[in-house]
Amino acid sequence: MDLKFSKVTRKGPITIVTLSRPEVYNALHIDAHFELNKVFDDFSADPEQWVAIVTGAGDKAFCAGNDLKWQAAGGKRGWDKGGFAGLTSRFDCDKPIIAAVNGVAMGGGFEIALACDLIIASENATFALPEPRVGLAALAGGLQRLPRQIGLKRAMGMILTARHVSAREGHELGFVNEVVPQGEALAGAERWAETICKNSPMSIRASKQAIQKGLAVSLEQAITEQREYPAVKAMAASQDYIEGPRAFSEKRAPKWLGK
């Protein structure tokens, strides 16, 4: 696929997706959304790719959200089934996705990060859901994910004031996993991804799916039903399920096949 608004790099089993509209702080419009939806469709379907990282081009912005200038000029709004950047409504991907936030993450940009499983942020990263300041609301998942991730009162404090939050405060609030020096967000995310890849990808997918599905039901129901989740059943039927205990008993590093 000819990419115009993003770049894709693969390092072994790790896919790095770079939002690439630096002239507008990587703000996204309809064409970029549809392109990124295809990018993440390809990642999800590729058995050789185990973890994805999403970051922004340049050193100023991860993503400034919706391209308001495009909208104000009459540009059509909308996105594909995967949601904003192909991620915010992507509920069927059981592979880990990491946000490497290297600057501004505003509105939809913050919503992209919240849709990821981990957030690694550089010291100059800034987060906000400022939509009320321009007569909008964070309806690409921000209003639902932020309260679930940091608690109702803390989320209300951010959302109702539309205030900006630093990477350090984001870490204190609990939505940032690690703060790294400026310029090192991607390297930090790659370090996390490489650590994840030391584990069985079948186990990682089963774990993520069990968490996602389990949080939508009661604790009792989750524990009762988790062995029937597709990724958990796939793990139990996989070669990795045999390789892990065998490698442990033989005192060697496992050779994961991802199947």
Per-residue pLDDT reduced to its tens digit, 47-65: 999 999 999 999 899 999 9
Residue 100 per-residue DSSP state: E
Taking 90 as the threshold, does the pLDDT of residue 148 lie above it?
yes
The class of domain 6-197 in CATH terms is alpha beta
23 catalytic? Reply is no
- What is the distance between the alpha carbons of residues 54 and 7, in angstroms, rounded to a whole number? 10
- Alpha carbon distance 83, 114 (integer Å): 13
pLDDT at 9 > cutoff 90:
yes
- 40: helix, coil or strand? helix
Residues in the chain: 259
Query: Cβ–Cβ contacts within 10 Å for residue 160, how many?
Result: 10
pLDDT confidence band for 252 (50 / 70 / 90): very high
Residue among 117, 106, 78 nearest 165 (CA) = 106
For the whole model, what pTM was predicted?
Answer: 0.96
Structure tokens given for 84: 């904003």
Among residues of the chain, what percentage have pLDDT more than 70?
100
Mean of pLDDT values over 158-179: 98
Q: Is the pLDDT of residue 76 over 80?
A: no
Residue in 206, 204, 226, 207 with CA at minimum distance from that of residue 217: 226
**Which candidate in 123, 131, 169, 228 is catalytic?**
131
Question: Taking all residues of the chain, what is their mean pLDDT, rounded to a whole number?
Answer: 96
Q: How far is CA 220 from CA 94, 119, 216, 225, in A?
A: 22, 29, 12, 9
Please give the residue that has the higher pLDDT: either 220 or 134: 220
pLDDT band at 24 (very low <50, low <70, confident <90, very high): very high
Catalytic residue among 35, 111, 194, 220: 111
Question: What is the reported pLDDT for 181?
Answer: 98
pLDDT of residue 79: 83
Give the Cα separation of 150 and 77 in Å (integer).
Answer: 30
Decide if 131 is catalytic.
yes
Start-end of H helices in the chain: 30-45, 68-72, 108-115, 142-150, 152-161, 167-173, 185-196, 201-215, 219-225, 230-236, 240-249
Res. 225: pLDDT tops 80: yes
Give the position of tokens 């996705």. Answer: 97
